[in-house]
């Protein structure tokens, strides 16, 4: 008999929070009738400056089956949080989850760019990726290297050897779900191997917080620039008052002259 769910949630706090966030976003999307094209990531929208979609696409799911499949796999992969003895643990999980979200999204865009510009496959210009699968596949890959004896449980009935799970799941989802993003899943696997093999390393709390802050800046900036959300309250008002005198320095040979413009009387009241 397994542990009560409450205790498992306490042992997997980061995984539980991410599942709760993705589920809440799914409910919001359903309630507001938001389509995948409004939150998903595509080459065309990225070219228009919608970089915020790298984040929204990862945490958004349109169908309930997509959400359940990803969250079921993610729950099983929460063992990473309990593997501090392998150099993993909660901090490692959170730090590299951020890396997986950002790098897998950028890698997908890079793949689209090569396919469009080099091979002239225009189909990938408007393909829209959405879902947490890239991160799930990344953690499958990392765990397959760090702890190859582990099992990946799906829906509580299907158990896969973690050492083969990334590619088994890649083939399985491509066959069962034709609209599944093969490149999105593949990007997660590539970034996962890069982390597991130490090609991407050195993350700590300082770098993770710095990366998170810069991600927030880019997220808000791109939201504003793309006009996807009204952020007019972030407007910075100019500090120059045209009614005040302006000062400039004029160079003349070896000497310089300080010149001050006159104050327009119509704009100032003298008391």
Mind telling me the catalytic residues?
Answer: 133, 185
- Please state, in angstroms and as integers, the Cα–Cα distance from residue 235 to each residue in 150, 195, 223, 229, 232, following that order: 51, 39, 13, 13, 6
User: Rounded distance, CA 18 to CA 20, Å?
Assistant: 5
In angstroms, the CA 116 to CA 123 distance is 8
Report the C-alpha dihedral over residues 195, 196, 198, 202, rounded to 10 degrees: 50
- Tell me which residue of 236, 226, 235 sits closest to 56, measured CA to CA: 226
CA distance 27 to 58: 15
Beta-strand (E) ranges in 3-50?
none
Assign 38 to helix, strand or coil. helix
CA separation for the pair 47, 262 (Å, rounded): 48
Angle between helices 13-32 and 64-77 (to 10 degrees): 170
- The answer to whether residues 68 and 22 touch, using CB atoms and an 8 Å cutoff, is no
CA–CA gap between residue 226 and residue 129 (Å, rounded): 19
Q: Are 169 and 137 within 8 A, CB to CB?
A: yes
């Amino acid at each position: 008999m397994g542990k009560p769910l409450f205790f498992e949630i306490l042992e997997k706090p980061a995984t539980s929070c991410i599942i709760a966030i993705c589920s809440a976003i799914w409910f919001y999307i359903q309630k507001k009738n938001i389509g995948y094209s409004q939150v998903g990531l595509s080459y065309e929208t990225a070219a228009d400056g919608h970089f915020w979609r790298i984040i929204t696409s990862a945490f958004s799911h349109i169908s309930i089956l997509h959400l359940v499949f990803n969250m079921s796999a993610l729950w099983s992969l929460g063992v990473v949080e309990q593997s501090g003895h392998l150099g993993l643990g909660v901090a490692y999980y959170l730090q590299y989850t951020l890396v997986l979200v950002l790098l897998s999204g950028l890698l997908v865009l890079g793949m689209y760019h090569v396919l469009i510009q080099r091979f002239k496959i225009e189909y990938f210009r408007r393909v829209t990726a959405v879902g947490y699968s890239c991160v799930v596949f990344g953690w499958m890959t990392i765990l397959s290297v760090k702890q190859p004896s582990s099992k990946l449980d799906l829906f509580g009935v299907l158990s896969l050897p973690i050492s083969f799970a990334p590619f088994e799941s890649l083939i399985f989802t491509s066959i069962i779900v034709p609209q599944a993003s093969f490149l999105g899943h593949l990007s997660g696997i590539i970034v996962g191997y890069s982390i597991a093999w130490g090609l991407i390393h050195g993350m700590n709390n300082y770098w993770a917080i710095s990366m998170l802050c810069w991600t927030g800046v880019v997220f808000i900036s791109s939201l504003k620039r793309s006009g996807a959300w009204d952020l007019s309250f972030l407007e910075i008002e100019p500090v120059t008052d045209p009614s005040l005198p302006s000062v400039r320095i004029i160079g003349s040979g070896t000497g310089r002259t300080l010149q001050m413009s006159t104050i327009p009387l119509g704009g100032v009241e003298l008391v």
